Structure 1
Amino acid sequence: MIETSALGVAYPGRAPVLRDLTLRVDAGERVLLLGPSGSGKSTLLRVLAGVVPQLVDADVSGRVLVAGQDATTTDPATLARDVGTLTQNPADQLCLPSVEEEVAFPLENRAWPRERIEQAVAHALARVGATHLRHRRTAELSGGEGQRVALAATLAAAPELLLLDEPTALLDPAAAREVGRLLRPAGGAQVLVEHRLDEVVDLPDRTVVLDDDGRLVADGPTREVLHDEAGRWHALGVRLPGAPWTARATRRTTAGSTAAGSRDVGTRTTRVLRARGLGVRRGGRDVLMGVDLDVHAGRVTAVVGLNGSGKSTLLLALAGLLPYTGGVEGGSVGLVFQQPEQQFLTRTVADEVAWGPRRARMPDPEGLARRALAAAALEHLADHDPFRLSGGQQRRLSVAAAAVCGHDVLLADEPTFGQDGRTTAATVALLRSLADEGRGLVVVTHDLALVADLADDLVVLADGRVLAHGPAADLLSAAPHGPLRTAGLVPADDHAQAHA
């Protein structure tokens, strides 16, 4: 199904992203593709789909065959008859006004009969838990809802090869587990790029690992690859299945660290943002209702909830970017968008970070930019185009660019999605340092491990309302029967597994 020989890829003006990659994937075989952020994983999938170099300019050397066709010269539309691709960012993929039309689109391109299309659309949406979204507009979907719909459209035609670029990145924990379970019986060959290995319960039997230079450094049975050289992969930044978030939160709280609610509530001396009775209506639906929230200097508040529960809408309303009812008052607010490229303004990474300080006439904006890039592990990319970075690199750049602006409050929407272990740790350290400087932070995330590592306070949203709000450590420790369970974020067996 896939054959590459001595494959090399270099984007204009950049060092090679992939080097001398030789790989074979047979029909029906499932492969897990791992590597640090920027190692070329997404680039490899784009080459296999024919996007690189035909739609995205790059120098490609070596040989690439997909379903017996040269992927570097065969029209991507022709390849798409055999290949289904799920991109890292669903916003890059959704193109039609309604969910039903989006899922039907690949089937219409294959000239399927209308009756068969209707049945296939219903089946595909049901498989990914998105039947309730069938008549929604794609522009009104949350990031996680969009990811489910994009996956349904990818699976609908049952392609012989699936290229899946982080299919769980924007999903809540429950949805991530569901998607992990449905991929094995999906049929056909698969190449799966994934960072959230703890939540993909049915990993492929074979694993391939790329290093920082885009070279293949491991290829073998998943159990052996992940276990035998775990230390090597950890040092490389690969996020391996490890300590469950419940155990991590318990250890950090017991150790008296500054994470997960270990800061005394009495230290909340300065409130930097206050929301009362916050409500938002979008697309004829009430998305947020009666939300009260206090953000305090020096503390990190995490917001969790199922996809579509109103988390991103809450941040947009707090930032003044959506009309709302109720009241919001406080200091200056900065926002890290869920889609990083929506906030990029310049053509180099260094200029992107320096842009805000320059506009605010802050002293030494270039120095601020250099230090922020170092903190975000991006200093080696200072002269690169933000729009040509990997998804994980773009995410860190958006966080760094917002961090240097000196706002009283920083709102961050999924700041660690697409990150490897090293860059997740760097992002956590950067966010914690901002809180330690006296900023108030609100972080929307689906990663409960991030909540355990970073958050002082936790807000649980369900159907647009606050289900619970309190110290993160208390809510995490109550997970088996508490509000996380009630919200559908934690199955009953997760806590038992954490302490097994």
Structure 2
Amino acid sequence: MIALDAVAVRYRRQEHPVLNGVDLRVAAGERVLVFGPSGSGKSTLLQVLAGSIPHSVHAVLDGSVRIGDGVTEASTVVERSPVIGMVGQDPAAGVCLPQVDAELSLVLENAAVPPSEIDGRVRSALRLAGAAALEGRSTAELSGGELQRVALAAAVVGEPPVLLLDEPTSMLDARGVRAVRQAIDDAVRETSPAVVLVEHRLDEFAGDAGTAGLPERAVAVGDDGTVLMDGPTDAVLSANAARLHSLGCWLPLDTELQAITGREGRVEDGTFDDFLSSCIPERAEAEAETAGRPLGDAVLTAVGVTAGRRGAPAVSRIDLAVHAGETVAVLGANGAGKSTVLRTLAGLLRPLAGRVEGDRPALVFQNPEHQFVAGTVERELVYGLAARSIRRLDVQGILTEHRLTALAQRHPHQLSGGEKRRLSLAAMLAHARGVLLADEPTFGLDRRDTVAVAEVLRRTADAGRAVVFASHDLRLVAALADRVVVVADGGIAYDGDLPGLLARPDLVDAAGVHPSRLLRWFAARCDTAAQLRAAVTAVDRARVPS
């Protein structure tokens, strides 16, 4: 079904190719997982298959592409559309109609499906993607996660022979991740498409099943754009565990611990108990570290806030005080109102009731491209700053800290998803405001950059600024957050520490999260939030033995 031979992609004015000598075969009904560090060319590979490279994105393509009997590298995006269903990294960019059901109907109308069949197939696709409740909704009013569900439904509704999925779970809550896995399984069972799935968060995608919850075949891509290994998923992960961990890839938990300890096994059989136990500090030691970081005064306050758009409340009764030096995680299911709360705190949405007081925050958008305004990475970093602020700013130091030095003269829109995310965060930090708001600051990032972002945000808080971030990533929350706020049922359902939340299954479900096996192992053995934070951080920072 899919055949790539010696495919290489190079952007103009870029010294090294993004992809280099890639050969790939994918048969009908086969599921292939493609993973690797940020910037390794995974999304570029999907763009080659979809035809946007070289027909829409200006890049040089070498090698041959064949999909089915009629598609070659010369085929345009439009010519490929009947055989390809795709979910891109930015689902909003692929949604063009104002109503959810119309978005899916358009796919079927373009394929000349009889009108009498369209409504039933639209509802079936929405159910498959866990989005049945979104039928008839306005696409402009959907959250990022809800748009991702709609994009998945639109990709499968036409029953295409090829499915290309670029991090389809990046913005989803725990239910959404399960829905994606089920939708892929159902599509393969019913119509046998060739599936190419790009994913970073392998442990979350696999769930408690471990590697058995992943596609049966995997392709590991190195940071030089070459294929490291292609084969059965278990074999690819096991044989390359240490190298993939060193490259900064997220791995299933057992594979991650294998890379760190050199042992093979599962958490449940006790193989890694001694290493994990060594990550937990004594309670007094952990509490002493926390005591050394006293919080300052409240720098941002919401009093009786009702927030929403066009007079339609999304959340109400929001009372929240954020203090200097504090890191607050905002959790909630897709559509609960997390982004609405952040935009209201940032002043981008006017409260429908109540008031927001305090410092003017900087906001890192959920979609980085929505805030880019300059023509190069370097200029984006300093955009909007006064001349005297720019003179004081260590631009080269910021580029180095966020792994952007080699990209300084690239256009922000030409970066990979992870690179865009790093740039958006760096640009907002450069403004040095007293409060930083970040909407899903690590989605699309590999393990190396997720850990780096967590450390940057922690240093930001330690320097006396307040950090508020929305996330579905409980591992990040455990390593970073002083407080956890759960937005559910139109208001704040919980405001406290993470262990307190994990002790309440009803609140965990309302928050739209699923504690990983690692978090459950530590939570059962840590007495305090400080111990839990230190333990998760120790695993994040662990290196492969030389």
- Among 367, 380, 388, the residue aligned to 1:361: 388
Q: Distance in 1 between matches of 2:510 and 2:398?
A: 39
Q: What's the offset of the Cα at 1:174?
A: 2.5
Compared with structure 1, are the counterparts of its residues 143 and 58 closer, same or farther at alpha carbon in structure 2 (3 Å cutoff)? same
Compared with structure 1, are the counterparts of its residues 203 and 53 closer, same or farther at alpha carbon in structure 2 (3 Å cutoff)? same
Deviations 1:190-212, CA, capped at 9 Å, x for gaps: 00001111122331100001111
384-393 vs 465-474, greater mean Cα deviation = 465-474
Does residue 485 of structure 1 match 2:509? yes
Counterpart in the other structure of 2:397: 371
Does residue 61 of structure 1 match 2:62? yes
Q: What's the offset of the Cα at 1:84?
A: 0.7
Normalised TM-score (structure 1): 0.93
Higher helix share: 2
Q: Distance in 1 between matches of 2:347 and 2:132?
A: 32
Q: Distance in 1 between matches of 2:289 and 2:276?
A: 10
Structure 2 counterpart of 1:69, one-letter code = G
Counterpart in the other structure of 2:125: 124
483-492 vs 33-42, greater mean Cα deviation = 483-492
Does residue 338 of structure 1 match 2:366? yes
Determine helix, strand or coil for the equivalent of 2:228.
strand
Determine helix, strand or coil for the equivalent of 2:145.
helix
Counterpart in the other structure of 2:220: 209
Compared with structure 1, are the counterparts of its residues 99 and 265 closer, same or farther at alpha carbon in structure 2 (3 Å cutoff)? farther
> Which consecutive unaligned segments of at least 5 residues does structure 1 have?
none
Deviations 1:231-284, CA, capped at 9 Å, x for gaps: 11111111001279x999998774669999973599333211111111113256
Counterpart in the other structure of 1:230: 241
Q: Distance in 2 between matches of 1:482 and 1:463?
A: 12
Does residue 293 of structure 1 match 2:298? no
Determine helix, strand or coil for the equivalent of 2:397.
helix
Q: Distance in 1 between matches of 2:248 and 2:521?
A: 25
Normalised TM-score (structure 2): 0.85
Counterpart in the other structure of 2:261: none
- 1:259, 1:456 within 8 Å by CA — same for their partners in 2? no
- 2:22, 2:227 within 8 Å by CA — same for their partners in 1? yes
Q: Distance in 1 between matches of 2:306 and 2:114?
A: 44
Q: What's the offset of the Cα at 1:484?
A: 1.5
Counterpart in the other structure of 1:3: 3
- 1:41, 1:193 within 8 Å by CA — same for their partners in 2? yes
Does residue 13 of structure 1 match 2:9? no
Q: What's the offset of the Cα at 1:75?
A: 2.5
Structure 2 counterpart of 1:402, one-letter code = M
- 2:472, 2:512 within 8 Å by CA — same for their partners in 1? no
Q: What's the offset of the Cα at 1:449?
A: 0.8
- Among 430, 436, 460, the residue aligned to 1:404: 430
Compared with structure 1, are the counterparts of its residues 497 and 221 closer, same or farther at alpha carbon in structure 2 (3 Å cutoff)? farther
- 2:253, 2:518 within 8 Å by CA — same for their partners in 1? no
- 2:121, 2:157 within 8 Å by CA — same for their partners in 1? yes
Q: Distance in 2 between matches of 1:156 and 1:257?
A: 56
The alignment of Structure 1 onto Structure 2 pairs a total of residues equal to 495
Determine helix, strand or coil for the equivalent of 1:198.
helix
Q: Distance in 1 between matches of 2:285 and 2:429?
A: 20
Q: Distance in 1 between matches of 2:221 and 2:519?
A: 33
Q: Distance in 1 between matches of 2:113 and 2:287?
A: 52
Counterpart in the other structure of 2:334: 307
- Among 246, 251, 261, the residue aligned to 1:240: 251
Counterpart in the other structure of 1:388: 414
Compared with structure 1, are the counterparts of its residues 284 and 68 closer, same or farther at alpha carbon in structure 2 (3 Å cutoff)? farther
Deviations 1:170-205, CA, capped at 9 Å, x for gaps: 001221122123312212110000111112233110
Identity of aligned residues (%): 44
Q: Distance in 1 between matches of 2:320 and 2:149?
A: 29
Determine helix, strand or coil for the equivalent of 1:267.
coil
Deviations 1:317-357, CA, capped at 9 Å, x for gaps: 00111121211111131000111111112111111112243
- 1:260, 1:453 within 8 Å by CA — same for their partners in 2? no
Determine helix, strand or coil for the equivalent of 2:158.
coil
Q: What's the offset of the Cα at 1:482?
A: 5.3
Q: Distance in 2 between matches of 1:260 and 1:452?
A: 15
Counterpart in the other structure of 2:78: 77
Q: Distance in 2 between matches of 1:227 and 1:384?
A: 36
Q: What's the offset of the Cα at 1:489?
A: 2.7
Does residue 102 of structure 1 match 2:129? no
Counterpart in the other structure of 2:157: 156
Q: What's the offset of the Cα at 1:493?
A: 9.3
Compared with structure 1, are the counterparts of its residues 360 and 260 closer, same or farther at alpha carbon in structure 2 (3 Å cutoff)? farther
Q: Distance in 2 between matches of 1:259 and 1:109?
A: 60
Determine helix, strand or coil for the equivalent of 1:362.
helix
Compared with structure 1, are the counterparts of its residues 276 and 71 closer, same or farther at alpha carbon in structure 2 (3 Å cutoff)? farther
Deviations 1:399-434, CA, capped at 9 Å, x for gaps: 000011110000000110100111111111111111
Q: Distance in 2 between matches of 1:112 and 1:348?
A: 45
